[in-house]
């Protein structure tokens, strides 16, 4: 019963029924739609899968870039602290130099 219903909707197709000589336009259209849907589904899945993998790789790269940026900020902060300490040391050395020059001038 179900086979007859499908064949009546599908049309004459020699692969499915023995009384058929040639495929009808309706059955060739249905077959083309089904094959096109299968191929379209495969291509859609392939594109989605490729984009999903690319998105995951981009997210990993962005995380690494963010991590590197934070490390660079920390390094710059440390360099700034070292620079301040060096300035303080330099000022102390210059102050000691002035004191030594003043003492030398007083003795001389």
Q: Give the H or E element holding residue 74.
A: helix 25-107
Tally Cβ neighbours within 10 Å of residue 27: 20
- Quick one: pLDDT band at residue 25, thresholds 50, 70, 90? confident
pLDDT at 4: 66
Domain ranges of the chain: 70-108
Please report which confidence band the pLDDT of residue 15 belongs to, taking 50, 70 and 90 as the band edges: low
**Cβ atoms of residues 21 and 14 within 8 Å:** yes
Please indicate whether residue 11 or residue 55 has the higher confidence score (pLDDT).
55
Average pLDDT of the chain is 87
| C-alpha span between 12 and 4 (Å, rounded) | 11
Note the pTM of the prediction, 2 decimals. 0.54
pLDDT band at residue 56, thresholds of 50, 70 and 90?
very high
Confidence band, pLDDT 50/70/90 cuts, at residue 14: low
């Amino acid at each position: 019963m179900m086979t007859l219903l499908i064949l009546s909707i599908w049309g004459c197709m020699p692969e499915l029924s023995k009384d058929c000589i040639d495929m009808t336009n309706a059955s060739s259209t249905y077959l083309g739609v089904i094959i096109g849907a299968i191929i379209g589904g495969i291509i859609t899945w392939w594109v989605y899968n490729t984009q999903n993998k690319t998105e995951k790789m981009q997210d990993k790269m962005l995380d690494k870039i963010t991590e590197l940026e934070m490390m660079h900020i920390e390094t710059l902060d440390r360099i700034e602290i070292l620079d301040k300490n060096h300035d303080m040391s330099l000022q102390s050395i210059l102050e000691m130099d002035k004191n030594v020059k003043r003492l030398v001038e007083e003795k001389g």
